[in-house]
């Protein structure tokens, strides 16, 4: 039986198995350090579509199809899908799934969407509401740039703390069946933390306190210590936010030696000119549903704490001078049940 | 860790990487100066071709706007701007880029409501406040004349 371990953490009674994971990425991501971990890399980033929004939906169609084929399933075998993206009204997900005929929940958790979807899919499976449930998300540099910042060809200089929205998508299918590989054992539902940061070009600093809060909560409530994990991975604080998080734990006398961030992993800091690293739903989704889960399946990682972090602002709230409310959702994924 | 928002703000500011101000300023100076030099060169060429000085200056400005629009359309203006910064943004070239780039960006939303309506999302405020300040300047100029 699922147990509530505390205010925000649960331990799943029958930890759902991640039956398949797949990821898709754009050209720049394909040229990065994780290039080989993506199932599909599109070299012109338009994914054969006429608009960037359609390209983003196409990525989700591709990643879902890939995850289904890896799981040897077809759409009717999936009882529920939890999907979201960065675009207004989540059109990336809705348009990708309009012909899929899969019961659908649309999510908005910004860059935390992969973790949020995974928690909900796992809860649906462990609660018996679905035999198989999927979590999926995407982001596209070009569609995010025009919505949150400036037109693509507008000439400007980025600040050193600005992060680069990843063009990518990830999908994980969880199931009640015991098929090995990776299991979602615990989940921690994040609370919104607003540390007063107003600079939308410094999202790592805005989100780091939310990540700190959720990681502290899940460690405390599940009775774990950082050393119990082969990897603690956040997504996507980037280089600056990642450093801040590690320093915050240091102030508590805790060294997060095994911590890294999806935004630090996906790009090469020096050669790819991405300033503070990657961001966007597709960053943590394509890293978690690629490199990390693949490493677990290959036996290189046994226990991973994955905390997706999201900055919940909009261009409107930024223009109105509001600070950025942030969230982090965490799951513990283990290679044993 | 128990920090107030004010303490956290200091924690972040103390660690925040800064933009390379000296390098940025130097490049802005060089590129900005280069664009002015190009403008001057074009004016001289138009005058050599027989244009009067005022006409030559106007033609030079139009040429710079055209070159800026063209390089935006061909996709390399933003790459130059990444290095040149204010050097290419402040002259008339920046204004042209700020009109052409949204026009390209929002073309996918249609000719009227996309390109037409959103073409001035960046340059709009410059036009609005430019007009207001020119009116204010006119009034001051007129008052000064009456006195």
Domain positions in chain A = 3-175, 183-334
At A195, give phi and psi (nearest 5°).
Answer: -90, 10
Interface membership of B54 toward A (CB under 8 Å)? no
Residues of chain A in contact with residue B97, where contact means CB-CB under 8 angstroms, are 153-155
Residue A179: count of CB within 10 angstroms of its CB: 12
* Min distance B136 CA to chain A CA atoms (Å): 27
Instruction: Please check whether residue B49 lies inside any domain of the structure.
Output: yes
Closest CB to A240 among B11, B17, B106: B17
Instruction: Please check whether residue B146 lies inside any domain of the structure.
Output: no
Give the 3-state secondary structure of residue A281.
Answer: helix
- Indicate if the pLDDT at residue B51 is higher than 80: yes
Closest CA to A108 of A138, A134, A132: A138
Contact B1 A249 (CB under 8 A): yes
Q: How many domains does chain B have?
A: 1
> Domain range for residue B101?
20-120
Interface membership of B97 toward A (CB under 8 Å)? yes
Same fold, A3-175 and A183-334: yes
Q: Which of B27, B105, B118, B124 to mutate to test the interface with A (most CBs of A within 10 A)?
A: B105
Contact A202 B16 (CB under 8 A): yes
Residues of chain A in contact with residue B26, where contact means CB-CB under 8 angstroms, are none
Instruction: Please check whether residue B116 lies inside any domain of the structure.
Output: yes
The domain made up of A183-334 has a fold known as Peroxisomal Thiolase; Chain A, domain 1 (3.40.47)
Give the 3-state secondary structure of residue A20.
Answer: strand
Interface membership of B71 toward A (CB under 8 Å)? no
CA distance A186 to A190: 13
- Using one digit for the tens of pLDDT, what is the confidence trace for A230-285? 999 999 999 999 999 999 999 999 999 999 999 999 999 989 999 999 999 999 99
b/e per residue B15-54 (b: at least 16 CB within 10 A): eeeeeeeeebeebbeebbeebeebbeebbeebbeeebeee
Contact B11 A50 (CB under 8 A): no
* Min distance A225 CA to chain B CA atoms (Å): 16
Angstrom distances, CA of residue A313 to CA of A44, A108, A213:
29, 11, 19
Better-scored residue on pLDDT, A28 or B91: A28
* Min distance B20 CA to chain A CA atoms (Å): 9
Angstrom distances, CA of residue B66 to CA of A89, A224, B33, B96, B123:
38, 63, 19, 8, 16
* Min distance B5 CA to chain A CA atoms (Å): 5
Instruction: Please check whether residue B51 lies inside any domain of the structure.
Output: yes
Three-state SS for B34-45 is: HHHHHHHHHHHH
A13: Cα separation from own chain's centroid: 24
CA distance B9 to B16: 10
Which ipTM was obtained for this model? 0.91
Instruction: Please check whether residue B38 lies inside any domain of the structure.
Output: yes
CA distance A297 to A264: 22
Please tell me the predicted confidence (pLDDT) of residue A5: 97
Contact A209 B8 (CB under 8 A): yes
Interface membership of B143 toward A (CB under 8 Å)? no
Locate the chain A residue with the closest alpha carbon to B17.
A160
* Min distance B38 CA to chain A CA atoms (Å): 19
Interface membership of A306 toward B (CB under 8 Å)? no
Contact B78 A156 (CB under 8 A): yes
Contact A159 B11 (CB under 8 A): no
pLDDT lower than 50: segments of chain A? none
* Min distance B94 CA to chain A CA atoms (Å): 8
> What residues 117-176 of chain A have any CB closer than 8 A to a CB of chain B?
146, 150-161
**Residue B133, C-beta contacts closer than 8 angstroms, at least 6 positions apart:** none
In angstroms and rounded to an integer, the radius of gyration of the C-alpha atoms of chain B is 21
Residues of chain A in contact with residue B80, where contact means CB-CB under 8 angstroms, are 155
**Residue A241, C-beta contacts closer than 8 angstroms, at least 6 positions apart:** A203, A204, A205, A206, A207, A208, A211, A234, A261, A263, A276, A309
- Using one digit for the tens of pLDDT, what is the confidence trace for A34-70? 999 999 999 988 999 999 999 999 999 999 999 999 9
Q: Which residue has the tokens 């063209």?
A: B70
Q: What is the dihedral of CA A181, A185, A191, A196, to 10 degrees?
A: -50
Locate the chain B residue with the closest alpha carbon to A253.
B1
Instruction: Please check whether residue B3 lies inside any domain of the structure.
Output: no
The CATH label, of 3.30.540.10, 3.40.47.40, 3.90.79.10, 1.10.238.10, for the domain at A3-175 is 3.40.47.40
DSSP H or E segment with residue A219: helix A203-222
Instruction: Please check whether residue B127 lies inside any domain of the structure.
Output: no
Interface membership of B105 toward A (CB under 8 Å)? yes
């Amino acid at each position: 039986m699922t147990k509530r371990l505390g205010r925000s953490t649960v331990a799943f009674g029958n930890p759902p198995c991640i039956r398949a994971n797949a990821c898709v990425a754009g050209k720049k991501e394909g040229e990065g350090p994780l290039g080989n971990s993506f199932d599909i890399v599109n070299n012109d980033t338009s994914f054969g579509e006429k608009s960037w929004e359609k390209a983003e939906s196409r990525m989700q169609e591709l990643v879902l199809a890939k995850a289904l084929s890896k799981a040897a399933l077809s759409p009717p075998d999936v009882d529920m899908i939890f999907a979201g993206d960065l675009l207004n009204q989540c059109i990336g997900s809705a348009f990708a799934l309009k012909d899929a005929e899969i019961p659908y929940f649309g999510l908005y958790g910004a860059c935390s969407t992969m973790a949020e979807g995974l928690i909900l899919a796992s809860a649906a499976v462990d609660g018996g509401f679905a035999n198989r449930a999927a979590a999926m998300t995407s982001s596209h540099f070009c569609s995010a740039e025009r919505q949150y910042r400036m037109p693509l060809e507008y000439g400007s200089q980025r600040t050193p703390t600005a992060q680069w929205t990843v063009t990518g998508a990830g999908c994980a299918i969880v199931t009640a069946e015991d098929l090995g590989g990776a299991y979602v054992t615990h989940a921690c539902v994040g609370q919104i933390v607003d540390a007063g940061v107003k600079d939308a070009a410094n999202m790592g600093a805005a989100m780091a306190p939310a990540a700190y809060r959720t990681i502290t909560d899940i460690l405390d409530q599940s009775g774990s210590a950082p050393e119990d994990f082969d990897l603690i991975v956040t997504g996507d604080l980037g280089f600056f936010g990642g450093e801040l998080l590690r320093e915050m734990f240091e102030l508590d006398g805790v060294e997060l030696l095994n911590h890294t961030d999806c935004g630090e992993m996906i790009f090469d800091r020096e050669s790819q000119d991405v300033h503070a690293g990657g961001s966007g739903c597709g960053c943590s989704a394509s890293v978690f549903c690629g490199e990390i889960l693949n490493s677990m399946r290959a036996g290189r990682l046994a226990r991973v704490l994955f905390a997706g972090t999201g900055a919940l602002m909009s261009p409107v709230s930024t223009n109105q001078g509001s600070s950025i409310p942030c969230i982090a959702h965490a799951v513990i994924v283990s290679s044993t049940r | 860790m128990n920090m107030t928002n004010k303490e956290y703000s200091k924690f972040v500011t103390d660690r925040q990487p800064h933009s390379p101000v000296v390098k940025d300023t130097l490049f802005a100076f060089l590129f900005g100066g280069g664009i002015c030099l190009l403008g001057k060169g074009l004016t001289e060429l138009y005058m050599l071709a027989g244009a009067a000085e005022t006409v030559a200056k106007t033609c030079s400005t139009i040429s710079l706007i055209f070159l800026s629009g063209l390089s935006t359309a061909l996709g390399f203006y933003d790459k130059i701007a990444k290095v040149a910064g204010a050097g290419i943004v402040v002259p008339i070239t920046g204004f042209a880029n700020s009109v052409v780039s949204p026009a390209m960006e929002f073309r996918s939303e249609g000719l009227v409501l996309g390109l037409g309506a959103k073409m001035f999302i960046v340059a709009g405020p410059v036009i609005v406040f430019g007009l207001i300040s020119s009116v204010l300047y006119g009034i001051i100029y007129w008052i000064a004349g009456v006195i």
